Structure 1
Amino acid sequence: MSGKDYVEKDYYKVLGVPKDASTAEIKKSYRKLAREFHPDANKGNPEAEERFKEISEANDVLSDAKRRKEYDEARALFANGGFRTGAGANGGFGFDLGDLFNGGQQSGTFGGGGGGGLGDVFGGIFNRGGGTRTAQPRRGADVESEVTLSFVEAVEGTTVPLRMTSQAACKACSGTGAKAGTTPRVCPTCVGTGHVQRGQGGFALSEPCRDCKGRGLIVDDPCEVCHGSGRATSARTMQVRIPAGVSNDQRIRLKGKGAQGERGGNPGDLYVTVHVQDHPVFGRKGDNLTVTVPVSFPEAALGGTIRVPTLGGPPVTLKMPPGTANGRTMRARGKGAVRKDGTRGDLLVTVEVAVPPSTEGEALTALEQYREATAAEDPRAALFKAAEEA
């Protein structure tokens, strides 16, 4: 079909929608018409089959924002009346549509001839060979890595060296994949895009081109190092900043630190899984640190002040009220792990009454006197009462 035929086709009319129709309106109309004229529902009806092809073709253009814009601009160009075939009726100048579509080359076939002209525009709309296309940039692959940190490094944050192995541009061929002195050519199947469209029913699905394996380029004389892939294994060591407050088994994304892209494409991302070693004293509960502090029985019974260690800082003093039960948790504010906003969590201090393994002398005498003084009190009375009522 010639380029002129494409320009004169009114895809809006084919779908029965106005020129300012939204994407949702186009989609709704297409689905309705596709069901009505689908070949499966109109077996043996060539007119319905032809209509279904027109509907699918119109939807392919109007449902894609870029192709729809190019189509509208091309139709507006011809709608102005400034272009016509042959000489004017009054001796005026006329323009050959072949010149417009083919850049001054042979006319008559859509997209034929050399580069330039509207053939390039319509080649973009209909995925045909109008003009020469350059291979598209390709994003680099994501890279996975792991790192083991001490408890303090995870809480405070640190910078660690990571040695990574990833794919990068082959140095022997500068990433072209072609042997020195040669250059790759644009894949004729996908015209350098790296993707082809495969029809399935009334829909067109995009998939990587099998001929160039998604690169958009064909290498006739491959590089001896990378064997035509344009990629080679590259090892590098980079300094990676691990943010403060990272938790065990957390996965951190470092944007743009992955494998290099192809043909100017953006690099991939680096994903680092962090493993945190245990601390002999402190534990972690979200943004809070935890510590268990032993206290004597007199301290728990009579109350007092206790000194508590902190992570990387001076000890803090907490006031323990009289009658503090074993396992009670107190809070030292602002002594925990660093949060994302820069503030700190708290230090949760759990009291553990320490029982001496043996007692003798004055301490033993004092304990016996205390036992006699509290003999009338049964600490298990409430337990038995609850068991009987249950």
Structure 2
Amino acid sequence: MAKRDFYQLLGISRGATGDEIKKAYRTKAKELHPDRNQDCKISEAGFKEVNEAYEVLRDPQKRAAYDRFGHAAFEGGMGGGGFHHPGDFGSAFADVFEDLFGDYVGARGARNRAARGQDLRYNLRVTLEEAFTGIVKQITVPGSTACGACNGTGAEGAAEPATCPTCAGMGKVRASQGFFTVERTCPTCNGAGQIVKNPCNACDGSGRIEKDRTLSVTIPAGVESGTRIRLAGEGEAGSRGGPQGDLYIFIEVREHEIFLRDGRTLACRVPVGMASAALGGEIEVPTIDGGRSKVKIPAGSQTGKQMRLRGKGMPPLRHGAGMQGEPGDMLIEIMVETPVNLTTRQRELLREFDQIAADNNPQSQSFFTKVKGFWEGMTG
């Protein structure tokens, strides 16, 4: 693909002065710089083109050759007298780098000097009753806090750290390597942009000390396993006076010995004697709030029969000052229990009942009628 005219790339006329060329280059380089157009191949290619154009047009000899021969002056097509391809445009870029991105780099250096602390995670287990009512828990969190002796600066007597002499506070150093200018983390300050001449004895210059903290955590009613609670500013202390990270509480609700939970719905499996299930009656069941509710058992109830208690399940999770939705329900599921350890008299009564109860077991009759048909079909 043919190269674009250098003057058109920079948007200037062929009679432009040196200052006009530099000003046009600054505008184009700022617009196309990779730091402002991350992962954009088009901007990256354009940035290289304007750098090449500026490298040629800023030099009077190269510009004169370009005005006379165009791009051919740098492609080896002019014999021994032609210019070679422009080499290190890093030097050209360095001329205006501070003007273009001084504020940006300075801001980045400031962020490196005062780094935010890391976020922390704490796994907290609560009972189903605590998840129902909500509770305030006291937890102990290991971690770091800002050093009180130096107020987090890392310097003895809370003195302000000095600007790194190697990188002038940018946290980065640049070096030209052939065609490119390479930027690396400053080896003197490790990217902080500052150095501590007299480190604090209490924290060895880090600005942080290890210390366990006791915090009060409000667990709202209705939490489920996996619920996350964020405590802003309760994470690790930042370095060199930077802000603290956040603490995230991850809730795990323990399994209950009586109730099973599915969202807001609670389920309670209640064993019922064979006679009570057949005759019907009334049973008393527990509720998660510690109360009791009476439930009527219909005559002829089978295992798996369910009854619903409205509003006796879990509350909705609170959002801000209000609540969303209504409390869930509680399902009572019947389990018909077969009697064991029968006495002689009980056996006699059950045998007598079995002889006269042929019409009282419709499911058994239906099942064995199907079985009989199956066997006859196989025999036929």
Per-residue deviation, 1:265: 3.8
1:123 aligns with 2:102: yes
Q: Which residue of 1 aligns with 2:317?
A: 340
Aligned residue in 2 for 1:174: 151
- CA positional deviation for 1:174: 1.9
**Does residue 353 in structure 1 map to residue 330 in structure 2?**
no
Structure 1 position 8 matched with structure 2 position 23: yes
- In structure 2, C-alpha distance between the alignment counterparts of 1:385 and 1:203, rounded to whole Å: 89
TM-superposition CA deviations, 1:63-99 (whole Å, max 9, x none) = xxxxxxxxxxxxxxxxxxxxxxxxxxxxxxxxxxxxx
Contact 1:136 1:193 (8 Å CA) reproduced: no
Q: What is the 5 A alignment of 1:1-390? A: 8-10=23-25, 27=40, 29-33=42-46, 47=85, 123-125=102-104, 127=105, 136-180=113-157, 182-189=159-166, 191-192=168-169, 194=171, 209-248=186-225, 251-262=228-239, 265-341=242-318, 342=323, 343-360=326-343, 364=347, 366-375=349-358, 378-379=364-365, 380-381=367-368, 384=371
Residue in structure 2 matched with residue 92 of structure 1 by the alignment: none
Instruction: Tell me which amino acid in the other structure corresponds to 2:43.
Output: Y
Amino acid in the other structure paired with 1:356 = P
User: What's the secondary structure of 2:287's corresponding residue?
Assistant: coil
Percent of pairs with identical residues: 33
Aligned-partner SS, 1:331 = strand
Q: TM-score under structure 1 normalisation?
A: 0.63
What TM-score results when the alignment is normalised by the length of structure 2?
0.65
Contact 1:253–1:272 (CA<8 Å) still a contact in 2?
yes
Contact 1:167 1:259 in 2 (8 A): yes
Structure with the higher helix share, 1 or 2: 2
Report how many residues are paired. Answer: 318
Q: Which runs of 5+ in 1 are unaligned?
A: 18-22, 59-108, 112-118
CA contact (8 A) 1:135 1:186 kept: no
Range with greater deviation from structure 2 (161-170 or 204-213)? 204-213
Tell me, what secondary structure is at the counterpart of 2:156?
coil
SS in 2 for 1:9: helix
> Could you say what secondary structure the match of 1:301 adopts?
helix
Q: Which string of whole-angstrom CA distances, capped at 9 and with x for unpartnered residues, describes residues 208-260 of structure 1? A: 65532343321122222222111111222111112223334655433332123
RMSD: 4.7
What code does the residue aligned with 1:123 have? G
SS in 1 for 2:277: helix
Greater shift in the superposed pair: 228-237 or 187-196: 187-196
| AA of the residue aligned to 1:373 | I
Cα distance in structure 1, aligned partners of 2:29 and 2:241: 40
Q: Which structure: larger Rg?
A: 2
Distance in 2 separating the partners of 1:327 and 1:46: 90
The one-letter code of the counterpart of 1:346 is D
SS of match in other structure, 2:248:
strand
Query: Do the aligned residues in 2 keep the contact of 1:137 with 1:261 (CA within 8 Å)?
Result: yes
Unpaired stretches in structure 2, ≥5 consecutive residues: 1-18, 53-73, 77-82
Give the superposition deviation at 1:145: 2.4
